[in-house]
Amino acid sequence: VSGEWRAVTVAGVGLIGGSFALALRQAGFRGKIIGVSSPATIRAALERGAIDEALPLAEAAAQSDVIYLAQPIQRILETLSVIDSAIRPGTLITDAGSTKRAIVERARQTIQRGCFVGGHPMAGKEARGVEAADANLFRTRPYVLTASDPELEHWIEKIGARLVKLDAAEHDRLVALVSHLPQLLSTALASLIADSPEAARVAGPAAADLTRLARSPYDIWRDIFSTNAEEIDHAIADAIARLQTLRENLLSEPDMQATFARAAQAASQLRQNTI
Amino acid sequence: VSGEWRAVTVAGVGLIGGSFALALRQAGFRGKIIGVSSPATIRAALERGAIDEALPLAEAAAQSDVIYLAQPIQRILETLSVIDSAIRPGTLITDAGSTKRAIVERARQTIQRGCFVGGHPMAGKEARGVEAADANLFRTRPYVLTASDPELEHWIEKIGARLVKLDAAEHDRLVALVSHLPQLLSTALASLIADSPEAARVAGPAAADLTRLARSPYDIWRDIFSTNAEEIDHAIADAIARLQTLRENLLSEPDMQATFARAAQAASQLRQNTI
């Protein structure tokens, strides 16, 4: 299937968009990669060698086979509302947003002349921006697609990611559990520790582990919360219920033993899949 | 002050006891180190070079200036109930148990001829046993003492730990927050993930981070829960309340922004102190 894409537009050339461009190139993509971003980001992306040229969105879209939306979720939603008239018929539009239901729904309403496939590469790192982009960022990581596209699937496998197909609702339910809830547990713990300043004096690796995510800036979470509120609400409620059970069973050895064993097994299995 | 200890007994030559013995030696301690443990552990400890000789507890105690109790908490409590008649007057007894109130209380009732100083080195690693012992295990880590002893404090600083003095109740309140609650948050999350087997397909670094602790075996937690139940109950209740607030404020941008900022600051500060 390889070789059918001749030009790819990456809209939002930050960590994810820049890494996707570098990964495509490393995997043997020979077509043109056009960047759409702010002037400062474009300068950095050209310097980093992530893109071949930069154009305004409408001009880039008019000459591309693929539009890869790697913007913040709200910007993806806005782009989906205006892109359809700018593309050639049959253009593939895909995205890298962290929630999928709102985005897939918007695309269903607005994309008529192109094909939309929702995407979510489960990869990232603390540093942001195209300066931190890395051709190997997606290697061994899950890459969720909400629909099929042979050429897109071909490149996702070539860049070393593990293709996972899920519908948008199932994706959003699962990431509420494995990504959004962990963030909120970490934020909750760190905010409790903030109330006990002496706690830092005795904090060891356990507290460091559990509060690493709490350093994430709110600006990347705002859109996730607003587009996945219902599933996150369920996940928090489930976590509260589970903590309440642990609290009630704290001195009940057989119950705690069973819960610890089950949790340890799930934690080990998770690491076999993800690390 | 250095040089006053001539013989130290380490009761329980596992990861912590073995590491303390190796650290003492590396820091220049020239006296004798006597191990009290099961035959298999003693063989491994002698092979590892952590101890000079092995004796039954009563014989070891009779010729030591210091008894270092690095056993599980329940064993420490049992040892404290029988040790006083075996020691020479003025012997220092200290421990490395993860909770302090029950242990300090027991020592207050049972130790008449010796002096007891509760201790808790905030260090560890996943591997257990004297085979994993490491002379540098305590380096840069907090080492809590519940009372003063100049010679013990001297050696704690010589092995590179950061001395922190706290009374037993304050220690137990703080570790409930920074150590016991993180374990239970991790166990709660991993046990929820165990209920959604498909979740492992999309799990990334966030889930891996937050479930690392969930692999801890219950047998090291049983005694911690039974000797710090009240403070752990409070910590879980606080976490539930905080999660409930996050849940209610999920779409309230100023509230979430403020909570994230405060949590991020505490998480960063924690890392400056501990990593």
Question: Which DSSP letter does residue B88 get?
Answer: P
- State yes or no: pLDDT of B161 exceeds 60: yes
CB contact under 8 A, A188 and B267: no
Distance from CA of B29 to the nearest CA of A (A): 26
Q: What is the mean pLDDT of residues B4-10?
A: 96
Distance of alpha carbon B66 from alpha carbon A17, whole angstroms: 61
pTM of this structure: 0.93
Confidence band for B3, pLDDT divided at 50, 70 and 90: very low
Q: What is the mean pLDDT of residues B236-244?
A: 98
| pLDDT recorded at residue A274 | 54
CA separation, residue A62 to residues A88, A95, B187 (Å) = 6, 18, 51
Element (H, E) at A102: helix A101-110
Question: Which DSSP letter does residue B252 get?
Answer: -
Distance of alpha carbon B143 from alpha carbon B152, whole angstroms: 11
| pLDDT recorded at residue A3 | 47
CB contact under 8 A, A187 and B246: yes
- State yes or no: pLDDT of A111 exceeds 70: yes
Reported ipTM: the value is 0.92
Contacts with A234 from chain B: Cβ below 8 Å:
none
Distance of alpha carbon A17 from alpha carbon A15, whole angstroms: 6
Say what percent of chain B tops pLDDT 90.
91
Classify burial at B89, counting beta carbons within 10 Å of its beta carbon; exposed 0-12, middle 13-18, buried 19 or more. exposed
Contacts with B205 from chain A: Cβ below 8 Å:
124, 274
Give the contacts of B266 (CB within 8 A, at least 6 positions apart): A190, A191, A193, A194, A200, A211, A214
Q: How many Å separate Cα B117 from the centre of its chain?
A: 14
Q: What is the mean pLDDT of residues A18-38?
A: 97
pLDDT in tens, A201-241: 999 889 999 999 999 999 999 999 999 999 999 999 999 99
Contacts with B122 from chain A: Cβ below 8 Å:
202-204
Q: Does B205 touch chain A (CB under 8 A)?
A: yes
Q: Across chain A, what does the average pLDDT equal?
A: 95
| pLDDT recorded at residue A260 | 98
Q: Does A123 touch chain B (CB under 8 A)?
A: yes
- State yes or no: pLDDT of B273 exceeds 80: no
Distance from CA of B263 to the nearest CA of A (A): 4
